[in-house]
Amino acid sequence: MNAFLLWLEEKFMPPMARLSEQRHLRAIRDGVISTLSLIIVGSFFIIIAQPPYKPLADFVKPYVGDIMIPFRLTVGLMSLYAAYGMGYSLAKSYKLDGISGGVLSLAAFLMATIPLNVDSVMTEAAKAGIKGAAPMGFILPMGNLGGAGMFTAILTMIFAVETLRLLKKFNVTIKMPEQVPESVSRSFEALIPAAFIITIMWVVRVLLKFDINARLLDLFSPIKNIMGNNLAGVVVPVILITLLWSAGIHGVSVIGSVIRPIWLMLLAENTNAVAAGNLAPNIAPEPFLQWLIWIGGSGATLGLCLLMIFSKSEYLKQVGRFSIVPGIFNINEPMIFGVPLVMNPILAIPFILGPTVISIISYFAVQLNLVGRFHILAPWTLPAPIGAFMATGGDWRVVVLVFINIGITTLIYYPFFKVYEKKMVAEEKANAELAVSDTVQA
């Protein structure tokens, strides 16, 4: 195990560390994360509109349309918000104006998602009997502005900001005198890049009638299905995240930078399905991992923390005591760096094995509909049973599964913990004897 951890540190860790700092992935991560507060708030309106208690559901049924408006303007527009946030972040990483980067990314995204035939959209709306459909004018359907448009938002963001960067690098911009206010000067600097970006997107989408979003969804559909409804799509990210943490790298930040857009798409599909009164189609959006796997934090360390509270090692006991409260709220950095779990050849095995085992159990529990599917993004700092209950829209069975998973990971940690505890007790005893010997000599 020591040789394996050494390989992780010397071979696996450096490229993963560089990957986590790659500017485009970092911009995607920061931009997507900037939308989470809106998604969390919007998701809770699903609980109000679709309460698990039937009499209450019957009571709110006439008001569901009004109740769902905040959801549709938050979760339903997540890619719109992400496009701006990602563009802002990437522009700032190049030391460009963040606002210009965000606005140009947003404009490029909207140009990529306009309907090819506006008249047909209006006709269909009128046929459906929507009041006032005929005189509404130009319509931008929201279908591709939520999770379904995330890949398009990423692609158009990169195109827009890289265009801004290259044109500024070669001085293809309008420069205003120094006495002109900065906000005005900034707008004129982005004028030529904006004209170029909008024209290119107009040619691609309108003249060539190329549906970027549809093509990207076709391209990534196999990956999305694997990530959301395939056992390997659940287990592989879990193993990679725990491997990275074992080597001292924030595994969720690295892997999440790549996978989180897919997780959000899966979550949006589940949320929209439940809002329409249907079964959520995807097994494993990100809340699946948050509430059934990362119980107590990455590595499912809450069980280990409970074992440490009653440890014979004074050091481990103290670490367990000051880690238990953060652990209940899924914050386990005190344990990861206090035990430590990083580069620990004994505890690295259950740190990887435990989450892997419960990810397999949880996958089949959800697949077989033994517990409800996740369709709400609850705050990650909630205790796992409460967060799981809310994220499934009030399924009490998932609370039972959370406690089962805690029990399983505790059992997996136990033999390795006892070995590590014995080592720590021996070290503490040796240090105590050395201290006594130094005192006698003095």
Say if residue 222's pLDDT is above 90: no
Residue 118 sits at the vertex; the CA angle it makes with 113 and 123, to the nearest 5 degrees, is: 135
pTM beyond 0.85, yes or no: no
Count CB neighbours of 179 within 10 A: 6
3-state secondary structure 388-433: HHHHCCCCHHHHHHHHHHHHHHHHHHHHHHHHHHHHHHHHHHHHHH
Give me the helices (H) in 94-230, please: 98-113, 118-127, 150-169, 182-189, 191-202, 212-229
DSSP type of residue 10: I
Could you count the other beta carbons within 10 Å of the beta carbon of residue 345? 14
What pLDDT is attached to residue 250? 75
**What does the pLDDT read at residue 345?**
84
Nearest C-alpha neighbor of 411 from the set 344, 343, 357:
357
Q: What is the pLDDT of residues 161-218, one digit of tens each?
A: 999 999 988 888 887 777 667 767 777 788 899 999 999 999 999 899 999 988 988 8
Whether the pLDDT of residue 439 is over 80: the answer is: no
Answer yes or no: is pLDDT of 149 > 60. Answer: yes
Q: d(Cα 345, Cα 360) in Å, to the nearest integer?
A: 24
Query: pLDDT tier at 57 (50, 70, 90 boundaries)?
Result: confident
Inform me whether the pLDDT recorded for 128 exceeds 80. no
Q: How far apart are CA 245 and CA 343, in angstroms?
A: 9
Percent of the chain with pLDDT over 90: 45
What is the average pLDDT across 429-442? 69
> What is the Rg, in whole angstroms, of the alpha carbon atoms belonging to the chain?
26
Closest CA to 419 of 351, 349, 347, 355: 347
Cα–Cα–Cα angle for 251, 263, 34, rounded to 5 degrees: 75
What pLDDT digit, counting tens, does each position of 98-123 carry?
999 999 999 999 999 988 765 555 55
